[in-house]
A = this chain, B = another copy of it.
């Protein structure tokens, strides 16, 4: 028996279509609302900032959407990604469970974000755009979009949350290497940023603020569109390549997962690995537990309310019905920057409300403990975001040991941790804090929910 077991697909097995869970849902997800009229949003409302091809995908009820050849050409740089069985981790845990993971850190950006950055850049290029604006927190999304824009000859402007801009200069350098223009947000480049700076010149910024700036930039320049790295339906759609490939690879193992696990920030990583399994179940196939794992410090799914809220701080976005902590909620500075979002993908929020998926919140010290155990067993150093999924996978495997019953676990290892070594140092130095979900801050932010 081989110790390391890797399940690889041939290049021809890269999916040629994305799969869409929407047509299989028992009830349709509530529509986004216009922030002014509170009426369901029409395609024309989104046209100032998105190309029509992506708007069509956003509202599509087609079960499959073909992946353009130009996108596949770039996917081939790192896809198909490998699926591994974590045998050494299983041994270390003494569990009868079988643990599999799909590894998305092999892309040039080190994470699964290019899966959607590439088609978004492609459709914008095709629509005649010259430039894309976006926001980024820790920098994973900004760097993925910078890469994708460069490959299609588009300019890219990234509003990077100021505290990350200052504390994580290396992600900024990566965007720079791929030719993007990066501003610390709030900035003087937008009206929204100007206002925020006027109110608080020392503002450290937030993802909600940076979204406001990027949306304004796109809305006020005809040759520029906006791009979002998570939350929206078309982003979840693009990430379905992860789960489709994983299903083919799990077939090679001769097992099927009892539980599929993904970390959860905006939701596109979890959606990517989980939704193809949800479709399988909804089509009458076997039931698979689908487990979203979020940080206890920013517990939208487990402590938020399911309500209409804004996607950004400046209240410029459409209203989305989602699990939210309130658009004013400011999560503590946890080390999984990609999971610090007050809301959650509307599609996945709907599925959670319908009982089609599960959610769990975990504190960050046990997350880093899981990350280090994983790195020492399996070799790959995970991004702190991805380590949330590892924590839950380990807990599932330990439960299997308690029960004395085998089970098959699959999780998405969404990115490597080579950009996150400062956070590992904080952990090794014993300085990592375990934030409880900040109940009072949530209660305060909840009062800002719009009345719909």
Contacts and interface: CB of A to CB of B under 8 A. Distances in A.
A264 to B, nearest CB: 24
A94 B9 CA distance: 34
A176 interface: yes
Contacts of A77: 4, 6, 84, 378-380
A122 to B, nearest CB: 12
B421 A151 contact: no
B6 A376 contact: no
A202 interface: no
Contacts of A56: none
B379 A424 contact: no
B6 A174 contact: no
Query: What number of copies of this chain does the assembly contain?
Result: 2
B73 A2 contact: yes
A417 to B, nearest CB: 8
Given A8-B11, A147-B379, A3 B176 contact: no
Contacts of A147: 379
Nearest to A70: B3
A278 to B, nearest CB: 30
A414 B432 CA distance: 34
A151 to B, nearest CB: 6
A425 B174 contact: no
Given A4-B77, A169-B425, A108 B381 contact: yes
A34 interface: no
A178 interface: yes
A74 interface: yes
Contacts of A421: 169-171, 173-174, 177
Interface string A143-158: 0000100110000000
A251 interface: no
A262 to B, nearest CB: 21
Given A2-B76, A8-B10, A379 B422 contact: no
Contacts of A424: 173-174, 176-177
Given A3-B73, A4-B74, A170-B418, 7 more contacts: A2-B76, A3-B74, A4-B77, A74-B379, A108-B380, A176-B424, A176-B425
